[in-house]
Structure 1
């Protein structure tokens, strides 16, 4: 099926839907066609002009009938046209709002990715809608409406935010209605994005797959100094961690309590806290630990030395952080930030960076948009991608195994070219949030997904503390509790569970994963790679895994003392060893993995099949 009509607005029938392409633009001729390939339909939009111009807004509107749709996975991101806010104002929601209350979501190169997936309560895809455009802003709005049949009004917006002057442009809108597991639909989407945009994802060193320690929740900024970092690194290594992230507090900022980021931008080591930083880094590395530093390149504080030089090259002020967001369209801004981070890495010998707050650079708050006045880019998003590419390439030239961590919301596939690790946004001591965010991000991310650092009260029982790790089992753990305050039972639990995680780390981070019950913030997961399988139960549910490989692990990440299975396949009789969360053997038994049965395993315990 193919239509080709040169009109300003037209309705296109697709799989029983009527897609309306709206928007008038005197500068551009618009050509729209529809094509189908392997059961997936594409709305192809082409723009052409005789001379350069910034395209005017285009919207794609249609109504998706509510046929076996119970929930959806939408972009997190910020509300379009909202004020600058901190990262904590973007909650997870599975609720499809009514149309009159629905808010448009902003996506761009630095804010999530342009897709939305409608699902039923049996993990089946009902519609995965996406755009091929990964750099320029795209908005999504979805809301329930009963007019002309109960369903969901859906709107995608293009060019609603400034991009750049163009003479030609094309974008594909992808509609996947296949009746398949939504995990498969999303993984196929990532492959399509990679092909359409010719993406070369960053290499992922082995260290990115292995457990981390992060100082943030354990020490905060005030507790970061050479002595404390070295003590935590030594204890973390003994437990099975391979990398330490030294978070905020390492840089000069003696009166930083007056504002979170007042001194950000200089990135100079505090010589009171670290008398000989290079020797300190080497000492930690000699323990067998990689060393990473936290930086926030989008935050320039007014008390930093660089502020005076860059103050006329800012996008806007992030009042909540007492800092300015620099404008990456200026080559001086990109060069300074790149040179500073690359030189700091060379001088100190660190292994990489935790790069924070890059989602603040986007065209929602771009201020002056005109090309020139010293800017060499019109598009904020294009310039930010260039900045991150320069930082990554500069660091990688210094260390081919450089470790670079980004965080939600800047998880866009185009940015997966410049980082090896993507971390869940801050959610300390929040099992549901950490689990949901790590599993939500996984299908649409080629790199290694990391949990937000794990923290708990030092008086907590080991079985309860263990839930923090077990509920984020399909991501790389980052421990961030003060190990010096943990009693021997907490440390025993951590060492045992991290050893089990390490034993299956490739399967957990790189296996073919199926995550069930997304509408309920996930009930259980399974992941398999080669001859290994891991099954993780997060809530009371009946488990029916597709595989039980020769080497398998079953994780009880609940409070209950049993797991219930109802197997469609007959995997035969297997030898089991049941452990509590501290590694004490509870029992050994033979179980026939066929039909309906249960395994008695303590809450936070695991089962090994070898």
Structure 2
């Protein structure tokens, strides 16, 4: 049963109900600094604003879960001034945390500025994390080295910018100073506004706390999550690392598609290089915006698409609708409707607050799909459209029908998705980190890790970080490795991203025989267990170490993956199970608290060589000899 209680001022926590009622009646609820008890935390809400009255309330949702509601009521319509929510979390059995990756720098920067760090910094050196509709999710999770939740803090606001800052403070008892900022960036004027902060301190696996948070976001915002067609769950091939832009043409794409189908892939993503760009090397996005087929590379593009689809492959195209190149034909028409210039790309980032911009971009992509018969889009660079990059003092009005960049971006993506869905009810739309907010999950059915070629740890960490806060299917960054790589080391690229959909991106026409055997065998195993791998209930262990192992199960399948030498203690071992050795060691050790009985196992190398078949008892401490990058099938 939910329990609600009103604001309690510091020093008055034991005051009688009569006196509290008196204080609420006669003391100003828009006091600049208010303090309220949320569970065991003393939370301060600070910010001066003569135009808004501010009231607070706390609701106990369940033991260990509380909501702080902050309500604003304006005397006139206006943009609220910044509000800071702050509190100190005692440092008790907290060893690491998960946090949004972006910082609050006001200038545009590289996609690679979002480092993954599990270290909680000292408070005077803590970076402020920026979240919005197109930048991560407004939440932080603190946990211990046993992967148990200690605090998951989140905001209900998913569109407008919110900032998070956490740092360790040794004063007044060692703990973490947390600050959450509202209205620090430009936002549309309002007369009333309400936001909820969720505090979850339950002693449960952090994955469960995050799954419950995802449900809360969906319910609070009444989200309508995009449909995920079955083909989004099956292996993909992407041309990016294999062909780059220069190698994209009809023959090369068809050759890769044919070989990828034989491996078990069902969709090909044709990345940059398909569009008309007379001098693409002069600038990465110099011709973006027109999205016209390069007729020299594809003399009959529609026929080419049909040919690939006749192989049993779905066909997707890469686009970056946020970027308008200076050499594109549309640039002259839209050049006064841009947010800023992305110097690294020699292109401009379009301002979606102009209805002309949204109309052009949505119609161009919808018509491109209609004209070519493709099955969907890989939509890139949407995280470049946000208030952080555009600066705090955005011009408003002058033809713009939205005052919020984020709100207009959501409208644009909604129009693109709705139009494509009308053409194909099973349309495939892929977004990429960092625009993975739950609100974005209404307009895409696949979310991919940001570029991290040949980086096992990065790809593993990013896919697992994203999975528990996402209703949609998670895709790994395309897999690529040196053509002379040891086959066991090459296999790690796939094994460490098992709980996401693989996208192969090596040149299959040049692949050596051992690599081909490895991919064929492992993708077959992946397809066999793909339901558990992409839709099962997952528990990931060792997030403080960028993950040591994972398990995921459905009612009849279990997959256990070891990423680092560790002891595996799966909760389940269903009748059809797969145990993966994603390490260089030649053994796996399990410590089982439940007796799973005597089972038949088959031990394979990563290329599919059966080493032995035997019966073993899965009870207590179990050691199984299996080569590095090898697998164990359990029946």
Q: Partners in 2 of 1:556 and 1:82 — Cα distance? A: 44
Structure 2: runs of 5+ lacking an equivalent: 8-23
Structure 1 counterpart SS, 2:5: coil
Does the alignment pair 1:538 with 2:538?
Answer: no
Which residue does the alignment assign to 1:211? 235
1:552 maps to which of 574, 577, 582? 577
Does the alignment pair 1:314 with 2:338?
Answer: yes
Which residue does the alignment assign to 2:539? 514
Which residue does the alignment assign to 2:46? 22
Q: How does 1:9-158 map to 2 (within 5 A)?
A: 9-39=33-63, 40-77=65-102, 79-158=103-182
Which residue does the alignment assign to 1:421? 446
Q: How does 1:376-387 map to 2 (within 5 A)?
A: 376-387=401-412
Structure 2 counterpart SS, 1:460: coil
Which residue does the alignment assign to 2:609? 584
Structure 2 counterpart SS, 1:449: strand
Q: Partners in 2 of 1:486 and 1:254 — Cα distance? A: 31
Q: How does 1:258-269 map to 2 (within 5 A)?
A: 258-269=282-293
Q: Is the 8 A contact 2:106 2:389 kept in 1?
A: no
**Residue deviations 1:343-394 (CA, integer Å, cap 9, x gap):** 0000000000000010000112336635421110010000000000000000
Q: Partners in 1 of 2:126 and 2:395 — Cα distance? A: 32
Structure 2 counterpart SS, 1:485: coil
Q: Partners in 2 of 1:194 and 1:365 — Cα distance? A: 27
Structure 1 counterpart SS, 2:439: helix
Which residue does the alignment assign to 2:6? 3
Q: Is the 8 A contact 2:236 2:265 kept in 1?
A: yes
Moved more, 396-405 or 487-496: 487-496
Structure 1 counterpart SS, 2:361: helix
Q: Is the 8 A contact 2:96 2:143 kept in 1?
A: yes
Does the alignment pair 1:227 with 2:251?
Answer: yes
Which residue does the alignment assign to 1:292? 316
Which residue does the alignment assign to 2:352? 328
Which residue does the alignment assign to 1:492? 517
Q: Partners in 2 of 1:369 and 1:75 — Cα distance? A: 24
Which residue does the alignment assign to 1:374? 399
Structure 1 residue 597 displacement after superposition? 1.5
Structure 1 residue 550 displacement after superposition? 0.5
Structure 2 counterpart SS, 1:2: strand
Which residue does the alignment assign to 2:219? 195
Structure 1: runs of 5+ lacking an equivalent: none
Structure 1 residue 53 displacement after superposition? 0.5
Moved more, 366-375 or 346-355: 366-375
Q: Partners in 1 of 2:124 and 2:312 — Cα distance? A: 56
Structure 1 residue 254 displacement after superposition? 2.3
**Residue deviations 1:192-250 (CA, integer Å, cap 9, x gap):** 00000000100001110000000000000000001100000000000100000000010
Q: Partners in 1 of 2:336 and 2:473 — Cα distance? A: 38
Q: Is the 8 A contact 2:107 2:390 kept in 1?
A: no
1:529 maps to which of 554, 561, 564? 554
Does the alignment pair 1:359 with 2:383?
Answer: yes
Structure 2 counterpart SS, 1:546: coil
Q: Partners in 1 of 2:278 and 2:257 — Cα distance? A: 24
Q: Partners in 2 of 1:212 and 1:371 — Cα distance? A: 42
Q: Is the 8 A contact 2:224 2:442 kept in 1?
A: yes
Which residue does the alignment assign to 1:450? 475
Q: Partners in 1 of 2:6 and 2:105 — Cα distance? A: 34
- Which of structure 1's runs of 4+ aligned residues deviate more than 2 A? 365-372
Q: Partners in 2 of 1:83 and 1:167 — Cα distance? A: 31
Which residue does the alignment assign to 1:574? 599
Which residue does the alignment assign to 1:475? 500
Q: Partners in 1 of 2:50 and 2:604 — Cα distance? A: 70
Which residue does the alignment assign to 2:11? none
Which residue does the alignment assign to 2:21? none
Q: Partners in 2 of 1:81 and 1:517 — Cα distance? A: 30
Moved more, 542-551 or 456-465: 456-465
State the number of aligned residues: 609
Q: Partners in 2 of 1:13 and 1:259 — Cα distance? A: 55
**Residue deviations 1:521-542 (CA, integer Å, cap 9, x gap):** 0000000012110000000000
Which residue does the alignment assign to 1:341? 365
Moved more, 371-380 or 540-549: 371-380
Structure 1 counterpart SS, 2:323: coil
Q: How does 1:392-411 map to 2 (within 5 A)?
A: 392-411=417-436
